[in-house]
């Protein structure tokens, strides 16, 4: 019986290696997709902030971010987006899996891990399908505080209230976990 178990495990070993390799490739693809979304969004937002200031740039986040996420998703063949425990746009509300991961990110940060290093991935089910899911934390930087901090200028507050009724994405401090990039890769 012991020989049979050993033989069975040895037969499965190559498959286990292939699954681990595939998972690592999926993680690399997901990292690249999150980086593409973050890079493009940051570039568009910085250009708008420089040209028009923060009040007019709020519409960039509202209007351009979903379009950029759709473009990156289509080009990568994945579902790519952003979410947060304290979301501004109700379309970015985290699902149960994302909520659990974001809560784990907060725990890991509280234990001393740097917010910019936090990531998590696993093979799981989503909408009844087997998928690879990935999340990468987005740390709050200085520029984020203009619209997401605790000392937001009145003209920005007024525009936020107009564009985002029920906004929850305020009162962040530098280094907080602002949210996360989220990637779903169908298997």
Residue 1: what pLDDT? Answer: 52
pTM of the prediction?
0.86
Residue 11: what pLDDT? Answer: 46
- Asked whether residue 149 carries a pLDDT value surpassing 90, the answer given is yes
Residue 141: what pLDDT? Answer: 92
Q: State pLDDT tens for residues 67-79.
A: 999 999 999 999 9
Q: State pLDDT tens for residues 99-128.
A: 999 999 999 999 999 999 999 999 999 999
Q: Where are the domains of the chain?
A: 2-186
Q: What is the three-state SS of the chain?
A: CHHHHHHHHHHHHHHHHHHHHHHHHHHHHHHHHHHHHHHHHHHHHHHHHHHHCHHHHHHHHHHHHHHHHHHHHHHHCCEEEEECCCCCCHHHCCCHHHHHHHHHHHHHHHCCCCHHHCEEEEEEEECCEEEEEEEEEEECCCCCHHHHCCCCCHHHHHHHHHHCCCCCCCCCCCCCEEEEEEEEEEC
Choice among 11-20, 26-35, 121-130 with the minimum mean pLDDT:
11-20
Q: Please, which pLDDT band fits residue 4 given cuts at 50, 70 and 90?
A: very low
């Amino acid at each position: 019986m012991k020989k049979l178990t050993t033989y069975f495990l040895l037969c499965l070993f190559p498959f286990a290696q292939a699954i681990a390799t595939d998972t690592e490739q999926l993680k690399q693809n997901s990292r690249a997709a999150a980086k593409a979304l973050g890079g493009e969004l940051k570039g568009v937002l910085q250009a708008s902030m420089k040209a028009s200031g923060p009040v007019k740039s709020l519409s960039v986040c509202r209007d351009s971010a979903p379009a950029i996420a759709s473009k990156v998703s289509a080009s990568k063949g994945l579902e790519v987006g952003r979410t947060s425990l304290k979301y501004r746009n109700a379309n970015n509300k985290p699902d149960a899996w994302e909520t659990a991961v974001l809560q784990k990110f907060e725990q890991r940060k509280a234990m001393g891990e740097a917010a910019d290093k936090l990531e998590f991935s696993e093979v799981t089910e989503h909408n009844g399908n087997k998928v690879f899911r990935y999340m990468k934390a987005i740390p709050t930087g200085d520029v984020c505080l203009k619209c997401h901090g605790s000392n937001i200028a009145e003209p920005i507050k007024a525009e936020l209230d107009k564009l985002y009724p029920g906004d929850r994405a305020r009162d962040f401090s530098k280094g907080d976990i602002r949210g996360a990039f989220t990637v779903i890769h169908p298997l």
